[in-house]
Amino acid sequence: MVMLHFTVDADKCTRCGECARDCLWGVIEMDGLPVVRPENEARCIECQHCLAVCKPGALSVFGKDPADSLPLKGMFPDPARMETLLMGRRSTRRYRGEGVDPALIRHLLEVVSHAPTAVNRRQTTLTVVDDPAMMDRLRAEVTAEALKLLHEDRFPAGWERMADYVRGCEDGTDVLFRNAPHLLVASAPKDALSPMADCHIALSYFELLANSHGLGTVWNGIAKAMFTAIVPQFAARLGIPDDHQIVCVMSFGLPAVKYHRTVQRPGGTIRRAEF
């Protein structure tokens, strides 16, 4: 249990009660000032909504100084730019040879750590291959092992489509990782509350943020199949915990292709609910 260290600056507090009203589990009560009674502390899920909702910044929890948080007013992207980002991102399968600045990768992952998870459990693990030389070794060894299974007729049954992809590597083409210099694996404990949703949300955050920085990304279902069914020994070599399930994988890097406009798609199946 993390200590709440819940404190309120009485001079700044307006007694508006927003922190108590927004506390999902009723941890905070109003007694003139906001208070957390000892018997309620264990219900806290560490969401920090109280810190975020307090307009004057009078409230601190977990020792966090509100002044260290980023202000939100006027900082969200306007709808038109956000819509263009959503419609303009493309699956990148052509990458430049050089790697991404490691500091930028770290920054992206730190921001992505804010992605929502079920009951704020934050059990998602993001395992990143940030060294292009390591990625080259991984690419070579996974491809070689998969080709060996194919040539020795030991490819797992039911994975014929993956066998076709591996067969495409026989001429030296990197079908598995698309020559991307980096890889990101999202995993979570098998008994997590919502591992599938948590991991997909995290990589969706990463994809959009990476694209806003000019990086290319591609959801790599082929790599996921390699690590989970074809050559699963490589998951352990990457350091994926034994009790985790790999949910999704993403290749990323500096793109060797530039797209100039959004595509035009018919609307999806949208229907008005009836009740």
Which residues fall within 8 angstroms of residue 239, CB to CB, at 6 or more apart? Answer: 127
Pick the CATH number of 79-253 from 3.40.630.10, 3.10.105.10, 2.40.110.20, 3.40.109.10: 3.40.109.10
- Mean pLDDT across the stretch 40-48? 95
Q: Is the pLDDT of residue 57 over 90?
A: yes
d(CA 162, CA 149) in angstroms, rounded, equals: 12
d(CA 233, CA 270) in angstroms, rounded, equals: 42
Q: What is the chain's length?
A: 275
| Residues 141, 145, 150, 151, CA torsion sign | positive
pLDDT of residue 1: 52
Q: Which helix (H) or strand (E) holds 49?
A: helix 49-53
- Mean pLDDT across the stretch 41-58? 97
Q: Is the pLDDT of residue 267 over 80?
A: no
Instruction: Give exposure, 188-208, as e/b (b: 16+ Cβ within 10 Å).
Output: beeebebbebbbbbbbebbbe
Average pLDDT, the chain: 96
Domain-by-domain residue ranges, the chain? 7-68, 79-253
pLDDT tens sequence across 170-209: 999 999 999 999 999 999 999 999 999 999 999 999 999 9
- Mean pLDDT across the stretch 223-248? 97
Candidates 11, 66, 13; CA nearest to 35 is: 13
- Mean pLDDT across the stretch 9-33? 97
- Mean pLDDT across the stretch 43-47? 96
Q: For 127, phi and psi rounded to 5 degrees?
A: -100, 120
Which residues fall within 8 angstroms of residue 56, CB to CB, at 6 or more apart? Answer: 12, 13, 14
- Written out in words, the top-level CATH class of the domain with range 7-68 is alpha beta
Candidates 32, 35, 30; CA nearest to 4 is: 35
Structural tokens at position 219 = 């959801």
- Mean pLDDT across the stretch 154-166? 97
CB-CB neighbours of 26 under 10 Å? 9
